[in-house]
Amino acid sequence: MAEAEPQPPQAKVKAKAVKKAAPRRSVNAANLAYLGPEALSELLMEVAEGHPAIKRRLKLALLGEVGAADLAAEIDKRIDAIADSRARINWRKFKEFVRDLDAHRASAAGRLGELDPNLAVPVLVRLVRVSEDLEGRIKDPKGELLAVFDQAVADVARLSPKALTLDSRSLADALLAFVTDASTKLSVDLLRAAAPALAGDAVAVLRGQVRERLAVQRRPDPRLRAAAQVLADLEGDVEGFAALFTASQQVLPPIGAQIARRYLAVGRTAEALAALDQSTPGPADRADPGALAWDEARIAALEAAGEPLEAQAVRWASFKATLSVEMLRAFLKGLPDFEDVEAEDQALDYAQTYPDPHKALAFLTAWPSAAGAAKLVMERGPALRGDREVVLEPAARLLEHRYPLAATVLLRAMVDDVVRYGRADRYADAARWLLEAESLVPGLPDDAAIDDHVTWARRVAGYRRL
């Protein structure tokens, strides 16, 4: 009987994975794309019906494809409507109004800026100026509306260097009108941002007009004077900048620093040092922020004069007065090898004795020196106020792993302050700090010179339960 031929093995058929279609229930850009352009167009028209803000957004998008002139005219039309209206904008319409205004800003800064920055800059200037027309008509408690105008100023600063052929005189007139009439510093910020677009003699003419207005004022308007300073800077006139301050103002450290910086920018080191000499901070002013600005200008002037050792002396004196992290880093960087380690130890030891324990703790946290911060907390803890959470909480974060006892002292100080004085706005924070303090209990030494956690938590509950 013939032997049956072996049959070839059955080929294994691999199941092909079936790719599932993307879920289309969620409303997102990818899923909406499935609807197609015609359906989306109809849907947009339906949604926009009865919603002017949406219609305006759609029109801006369409005109962005038509051309710069049409888009600029449309944005201008909306700005005119806002400026001409005298109606108050209540809280119900506030969000919608801000979104609409920001959409026009974004269109001017974005698509119009791409098409023609020479048109975009004047449009954005007009948009910022409308802030004056809104004064008294709208409340902006969280600064949301101001943020739109601040962003528009930033947009002007970005686009101005590209706007090389716009009408400088018209722009200068608009900026002058805003500086003269405005009630906020937006006007000076806008002038500074738009300055690169002022070509030819526009700056000189504008500066002359500002001077004329200042000359007839018995008490110079601060905004006009600030505008005059911006224009003096544009023309590189350091004496003109300095002359805008009275003699009694020029002896103030921050003013002297501003003047000195400008002399240094044009290579006039001797005049910079002279301006600083007449505005030297007194001993009582050494910890003031204005004194730190003076120190920085003094260091720059001394280095420009070829006096590195004197510059180092100023850095060390400034650090001792302010505990500035940046100043100490610069001082250490200027030391020879190996001397910086000894100087750093000396600085950290000095921080322990600094009169303000909060400033000392903030410095040790920022440096960072966990050992130094822990030492300060354990030695000067009673002097640290629990309501200074901006200082105490970051320090507790630094200390919680290696120095749990010091971190506990800080956490308890903050919780005690909240419950003792009933600071309801910080109850949630206090509850979190209490839990964090509890989590550190296992790491506390047995002989810790503080109450155990249960006793302390019971006392906290006695004030107010969190």
- Give pLDDT tens digits for 238-274: 999 999 998 999 999 999 999 999 999 999 999 999 9
Give percent of the chain with pLDDT exceeding 70: 93
**Which neighbouring-strand residues pair with 89?**
138
- Tokens in use for 341? 């380690």
Q: What is the residue whose two structure tokens read 């300073």?
A: 229
Q: Find all residues with CB under 8 Å of 2, minimum gap 6, and list them.
A: none
Given this model, what pLDDT does residue 1 score?
45
Cis, bond preceding 368 (omega within 30 deg of 0): yes
Phi and psi torsions of 120, nearest 5°: -65, -40
441: left (phi over 0), alpha (psi -120 to 50) or beta: alpha
Q: CA of 208: how far to CAs of 176, 227, 259, in Å?
A: 11, 11, 21
Identify which of 51, 154, 42 has the alpha carbon closest to the alpha carbon of residue 108: 154
Query: Given this structure, which CATH class describes domain 255-353?
Result: mainly alpha
Contact 291, 321 (CB under 8 A): yes
Given this model, what pLDDT does residue 464 score?
66
Given this model, what pLDDT does residue 53 score?
76
Contacts of 240-247 with C-beta under 8 Å, sequence gap 24+, read 242/275
* CA gap 51, 43 in Å, rounded: 13
- Tokens in use for 35? 């609807």
Q: Low-confidence residues of the chain, pLDDT below 70?
A: 1-24, 48, 50, 287, 464-466
Q: What angle do CA 256, 259, 261 make, to 5 degrees?
A: 105
Measured between alpha carbons, how far apart are the two ends of the chain, in Å? 96
Classify the C-alpha dihedral 65-69-74-79 as positive or negative.
Answer: positive
Q: Which runs of consecutive H residues, i.e. helices, occur in 182-307?
A: 186-194, 202-215, 222-234, 238-243, 247-250, 253-265, 269-277, 289-304
- Tokens in use for 26? 């969620």
Tallying the residues shown for the chain, one arrives at 466
Given this model, what pLDDT does residue 13 score?
47
Q: CA of 43: how far to CAs of 63, 219, 229, 274, 302, in Å?
A: 20, 60, 54, 70, 68
Classify the C-alpha dihedral 380-385-386-392 as positive or negative.
Answer: negative
Q: Residue 341: is it exposed, middle or buried by C-beta count within 10 angstroms (0-12/13-18/19+)?
A: exposed
Contact 272, 257 (CB under 8 A): no
Q: Find all residues with CB under 8 Å of 381, minimum gap 6, and list them.
A: 409, 413
Q: Which runs of consecutive H residues, i.e. helices, occur in 305-388?
A: 308-322, 325-333, 339-352, 357-366, 370-380
What is the pTM for the complete model shown?
A: 0.72
Given this model, what pLDDT does residue 463 score?
76
Given this model, what pLDDT does residue 258 score?
95
